[in-house]
Structure formats: structure tokens, C-alpha cells
A and B are shown apart, each in its own frame.
Chain A
């Protein structure tokens, strides 16, 4: 069935450094890829998304890249801040449903 893999499962970076999280998906028909941030005890919040007709999208310190041929997409956070610490989930749309990756716990060390 449809599958989304996500790496790494945990990531620690120094404040100010960049963080990169990578996801791969299995179904080439998938055409929408959102990223969610979930702080401890809170609901997931969409931070950025990308559709398959573009290769990159940027919003301030956050960017997402998509490689359709390789079926992978990545989240890039630059100039990380302590408030970026959270669990990040990627997802891929299959038909009308979403399959989520297992999550990456990002810790930004001051």
C-alpha cells in the first residue's frame, strides 16, 4: 500500500544552523505534499505545502523541495530558533486521503 518514509527520526541542531528533513513516498500519482509542525501537546499545524507542478516553494525561513522522479521531498529550515523545536510530519496525498510520515523530533539547542 501507500507508504511515506521520513528521516531522520530525531534531529538536534545548534540555534542558527539549518535543519533538513527528508521524506519519500511510494505512489507516483501523489500530487500534494504538506508539512505539519506539532508542538508538545498541541494539534498539528500546516507550515508549508507543495504541489507536484513545482519543484520548490519558500516561505521566509522555511522551504520545501520536491523531486518527482525520485519521489522524495524535503523540508529545509534555515537560521533555526528554539521555537522551531517540535515534531515535524510530512504527508503525501493519495487520492483524497493523506498518508503521514512517522515524524521527526527537532531540537534546537540554544
Chain B
């Protein structure tokens, strides 16, 4: 079946603009994670959704970052007033439930000029 998909694959924006990144998880997966990966670095946890529970937002680096998950499926990560340090690959992952194997999307490469 279809894996995790993300869009856009690449996004170039100007400093100060808002961006929205989309993640379509695997159908039936209740858990959804967002990570940030800076060039040559590891994966930094941002936010976690599990079913209808309140999301774990403990990894969001500032109040410019927010995320939603509508209908328990598609998720959108929004970055307001982008800064150059926001440039990174943003990866989404889903799993059948929390705490089991994650399947990653291809990522969105964000470049803030």
C-alpha cells in the first residue's frame, strides 16, 4: 500500500514568510510524528499526535511552530515568520500506534533565504 507522503518536497521561502508543510500518513495509523533534520544532523522531535488525544508539543522550538491533525489523518506543520535557522528537512512519520515501528515520509526540504 501507499507509504507516508509529504508535500511539497522542496520549499524555498523568504525570511518572515509563513509556510505550511503537509503529511499524509499511512491509512489506519493512529500515531503521527514530526521531526526536523538539519544538514548532517540527527532527528529532532517536534510534535506527536496519537488518535484523538491532545498532541505532545514538547519538541516545538518556539511559538512560531504549530501543527494540526485533522480527522486523525492528514497533518499540517505551520511555521510562521520563518527564520534562516528554520532551514532543514522536515520529516513526518506514522505508526500503527504509539511506541512501535515508525514509517517515515520523504521529507520536505525547507530553505529560508
Contacts and interface: CB of A to CB of B under 8 A. Distances in A.
Interface of A: 32, 34, 36, 42-46, 49, 89, 91, 93, 95-103
19 contacts: A36-B104, A43-B104, A43-B106, A43-B107, A44-B43, A44-B104, A45-B104, A46-B101, A46-B102, A49-B101, A95-B99, A96-B50, A96-B98, A97-B33, A97-B48, A99-B45, A101-B42, A102-B42, A103-B41
Given A36-B104, A100-B42, 6 more contacts: A46-B102, A91-B43, A96-B48, A98-B102, A99-B45, A102-B41
B18 interface: no
Contacts of B35: 100
Contacts of A46: 101-103
B5 to A, nearest CB: 11
Contact of B42 (A34, A43, A95, A103): A103
Majority secondary structure, A binding face: strand
Interface of B is mostly: loop
B31 interface: yes
B20 interface: no
Contacts of B91: 43-44
Interface residues of B, number: 24
A34 B41 contact: no
B14 interface: no
Interface in B15-72: 31, 33, 35, 41-45, 48, 50, 56, 58-59
B45 A98 contact: yes
Q: Which of B42, B59, B105, B106 has the most CB of A within 10 A?
A: B42
Contact of B99 (A43, A93, A101): A93
A94 to B, nearest CB: 10
